[in-house]
A and B are shown apart, each in its own frame.
Chain A
Amino acid sequence: MDENGTDGWNIVVCVKQVPDAADVSIDPDTGRLNRSDAEAVMNDPDYNSVEAALELREQVGGTVTALCMGPPNAEEVLAEAVAMGADDGVLMTDRAFGGSDTWPTSLALASGAAELDADVVLAGEETTDSSTGQVPPGIAAHNEWAQLTYVEELEPDPENDRLIARRDIEGGYERVAADLPVSVAMSYGENVPRTAGLHRKIYAETEFDPEEWSAEKLGIEDEVGLAVSPTQVGGMDTAEPVPREQETVDSADELADRIAEVL
């Protein structure tokens, strides 16, 4: 029993729709990103957090709800999480969210997780499009919850209302117990995400329809979006490729000579 007097935990997993990293290119003339031809996919590290959420549910019972902030078509990534096994999904979609940096983004997700009465909110280590890694700690900070980042493995401790994690640290690891509710960032590639079962897949495609929440519904309409974002993108430059000789040699001997020249 958790603090709500119900069996199991309310597990919320954040998923984001991103342009497929492999498809994003830079227009050499304008220096702008060509995102338009990139397919929209689920952020790769989020597969690890969905898997972790489902494993947690298997261990402690409860529900897994996928939560996404994004444009209306981002419901596709919620459907993907549902196909993998999430019970339900909520789409936070609103023009008011547009232009949010990590401060309002984590506020929105924190508010969504609180609205869902989450015991645990999971996210991927970072996103492939902006790779800040700031959102999971941001969720914890906005809600004044505990946090566990760079998580390799989770061990639930429901008797004590705690979640224990093995975390990756420089040069080793540590095991940390955090009080519920807690925000968790799973390390990328730490588990093997399951593939969607056929039944769930059909359900996700034909019947699943996520609830949609606006900023107003969460009472945060004045606290999100570009205007309240503390950071702004002041410009985007194409990273100049480092000039390299790009010379091909034919033999290991020649390679050894080159190495000798350099050292």
Chain B
Amino acid sequence: MAAVGEPDVDLDAHTDVWVFIEQHDGEVAAVSWELLGKGRDLADQKGEDLVALVLGEDLEESGIPDEAIDRGADRVLVADDPVFAPYRADAYGQQFRHLVEQRKPDIVLIGGTHTGRDFAGRVAVPTHAGLTADTTELEITPDQYEMRRPAFGGDALATIICPNHRPQMSTVRPGVFDEPSRGDGDGAIEQVEVVVEENDTKSEVLEREVGDVADITDAEVIVAGGMGVEGEFGPLERLAELLDAELAGTRDAVEAGWIDPARQVGQTGKTVRPKLYVAVGISGAIQHVEGMDDSETVIAINNDPNAPIFENADYGIVGDCDEVLPQLIEALERQEVAA
């Protein structure tokens, strides 16, 4: 007999690993492909299918369903209708929920983007699914499926399990898994019934402005600035140019308006994994370090010898960035000339 609160869920009726392929105007969010790669692993371990879901308008022309197959999906479910463009939480939530109730997936992966984190709850709540936000590790152990996520600003890693509910959903941070390369897949594409009516929607997109989105999650080298830079990003740009690097910043630097929000590194920003991360005038708050801790080598420039960033750096120099940066740029220019 089920204990109090245990739902009457037939756990075995739920199979397959689903990955949501997020696209806007035909552009796929990189994290979706990363999840397809991870989803392939999980599906193989379970001996089940990997299913990709794409919602939007004119999807066939976009080539996205084919690409999902070429990147590892066994099946692609396509809901193609103007009601899904542009994205809206209520329309996406309703359609996705319908598919989940109808087809009963076991595991569902959604990118931890604003879009993914916006509508995931609209699927998980009505289906009474378990939803773990912002996961960074996913693992099938002999006993159960384990989702791990940072807690307390990254000081701890919590393991989340979902013993009695299905599906086991999570939003997953961009940049933590590798993108699978494109091969030749032989999966099936299926158009599904669209259950959303424009009349039933509760919201309307009045305007949408998207520029060229910087993707710092893929960068090999990153030069990042914090409050210590005091708005002077010029020298950082020069350094970035020399090192063929992407610029990034802390949340406080973003809030000060010095750098684009898409370039924020940290708990509420991006997770980056460059070969080299140069942190200039950054204190090293845990919420920031959480996003850059996967960097291979970290270099810190800070005038406070006690700044926590030095504990998270391989090489550090204690000094005013107004002095150190020009010297460093000069030294690198000299080396380049020498080389």
Contact = CB atoms under 8 A, between A and B. Distances in A.
Interface of A: 21, 24-26, 31, 33, 101-103, 106, 125-126, 128-134, 137-138, 140-142, 145-150, 164, 167-179, 182, 188-189, 222, 225, 227-228, 230-239, 241-242, 244-256, 258-260, 262-263
Nearest to B148: A237
B316 A132 contact: no
B203 A177 contact: yes
Interface in B181-237: 202-214, 221
- How many chain B residues sit at the interface, stated as a range, is 35 or more
Given A176-B206, A230-B165, A244 B221 contact: no
Contacts of B88: 176
Contact of A237 (B4, B122, B156): B156
B209 A172 contact: yes
Given A103-B125, A137-B120, A227-B5, A175 B315 contact: no
Interface of chain B, main secondary structure: mixed
B158 A235 contact: yes
B158 A189 contact: no
A31 B151 CA distance: 13
A121 B335 CA distance: 58
A106 B126 CA distance: 12
B162 interface: yes
A175 B203 CA distance: 10
Interface in B123-154: 124-126, 128-134, 144, 146, 150-154
Contacts of B314: 244-247, 258
Contacts of A222: 5
Chain B CB count within 10 A is highest, among A169, A172, A251, A263, for: A169
Contacts of A26: 152, 155-156
A256 B207 contact: no
12 contacts: A137-B125, A141-B121, A167-B114, A170-B262, A171-B210, A175-B208, A176-B204, A234-B159, A244-B298, A244-B311, A255-B331, A262-B296
Contacts, number: 262
A150 B29 CA distance: 18
Interface string B78-110: 000000001011100100000000000000000
Contacts of A141: 93, 121-122, 124-126
Interface in B68-82: none
A248 B310 contact: yes
A111 to B, nearest CB: 13
Contacts of B298: 244
Interface of B: 3-6, 29, 86, 88-90, 93, 113-115, 117-122, 124-126, 128-134, 144, 146, 150-165, 202-214, 221, 243, 251, 255, 261-262, 267-268, 275-276, 278, 293-294, 296-299, 301, 310-318, 324, 327-328, 330-332, 335
Nearest to B144: A234
B310 A103 contact: no
Contacts of A178: 202-204
A82 B262 CA distance: 35
A256 B332 CA distance: 6
A101 B124 CA distance: 12
B122 A230 contact: no
A130 B232 CA distance: 34
A239 B157 CA distance: 6
A49 to B, nearest CB: 15
B131 A168 contact: no
B5 A225 contact: yes
Nearest to A140: B122
B133 A132 contact: yes
Contacts of A102: 121, 131, 133
A21 B152 CA distance: 7
B236 to A, nearest CB: 14
A233 B130 CA distance: 12
Contacts of B154: 239
B125 A106 contact: yes
B195 to A, nearest CB: 15
Contacts of A231: 130-132, 160-162, 165
